[in-house]
């Protein structure tokens, strides 16, 4: 179905793997379009509850495809950036949780792709960075915006201005990733996390994601109102009735995504 990705759903988990190992999984226009389509399929698939995004081989995504970018003029570069933002924004706002399993290089567009995911788990061998200014460019797939929201404005400027590449431990220290594990533990850790999320009420998880994403840039008064409305909305589900009943009856809840 996809030329540059692998897509598989197993036991409720959608495994989406960027599959251009010969190019260190660099993001070209084809990959961006297929990532959008893969996540649209994930969002619509009732059998898929959580997605794990990773890269084939020794790289997560080493960056945008420089060979493609080097040929672009200003108008074409804007269109390429818009395509990147379309994909990253879609991944960020898909209704279900997305875990980035960062197995290796996550540079430039790869770092930006990881930041569009809800949670980042990194192999101890992973490397992160936004090296664009070393090429006379700036991050164009959301890096100047998401990085500062994750690690703070000062650290984002430090990383972008210097084009420094940092290891997984440093990425964890500054809040760019949520957890660092040994390489062989990466996928098992992500799968365990996915299963833990899937054990909770899926409608509530989706509502919580919407509230977090949309409230983040609001003023506190507006964000509080969003949470109040989202809290009320969660009471309309059968899963809420099942969850509260199970708690009171001291038994495991059986959620049905209704």
Q: Indicate which residues carry an active-site annotation.
A: 112, 132
3-state secondary structure 94-149: CCCCEEEEECCEEECHHHHHHHHCCEEEEECCCEEECCHHHHCCCCCCCHHHHHHH
Helix axes 238-248 and 202-215, enclosed angle (nearest 10): 110
Distances from the Cα of 155 to the Cα of 50, 197, 214, 232, angstroms: 30, 30, 24, 37
The residue written with tokens 């997560």 in the block is: 60
User: How does 142-166 read in b/e, with b if 16+ C-beta sit within 10 Å?
Assistant: bbbebbbebbeeeebeebbeeeebb
């Amino acid at each position: 179905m996809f030329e540059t990705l692998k897509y598989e759903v197993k036991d409720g988990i959608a495994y989406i793997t960027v599959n251009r190992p010969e190019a260190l999984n660099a993001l070209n226009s084809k990959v961006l379009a297929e990532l959008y389509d893969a996540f649209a399929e994930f969002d619509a698939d009732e059998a898929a509850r959580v997605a794990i995004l990773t890269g084939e081989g020794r790289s997560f995504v080493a960056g945008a495809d420089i060979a493609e970018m080097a040929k672009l003029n200003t108008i074409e570069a804007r269109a390429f950036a818009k395509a990147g933002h379309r994909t990253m924004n879609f991944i960020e706002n898909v209704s279900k949780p997305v875990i980035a399993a960062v197995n290796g290089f996550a540079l430039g567009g790869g770092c930006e792709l990881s930041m569009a995911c809800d949670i980042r788990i990194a192999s101890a061998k992973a490397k992160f960075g936004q090296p664009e200014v070393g090429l006379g460019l700036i991050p164009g797939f959301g890096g100047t915006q998401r990085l500062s929201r994750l690690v703070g404005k000062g650290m984002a400027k430090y990383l972008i201005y210097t084009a420094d590449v940092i290891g997984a431990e440093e990425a964890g220290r500054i809040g760019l990733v949520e957890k660092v594990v040994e390489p062989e533990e990466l996928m098992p850790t992500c799968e365990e996390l996915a299963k833990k999320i899937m054990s909770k009420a899926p409608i509530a998880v989706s509502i919580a994601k919407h509230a977090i994403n949309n409230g983040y840039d609001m003023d506190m008064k507006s964000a509080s109102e969003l949470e109040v409305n989202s809290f009320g909305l969660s009471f309309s589900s059968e899963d809420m009735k099942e969850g509260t009943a199970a708690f009171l009856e001291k038994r495991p809840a059986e959620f049905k995504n209704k």
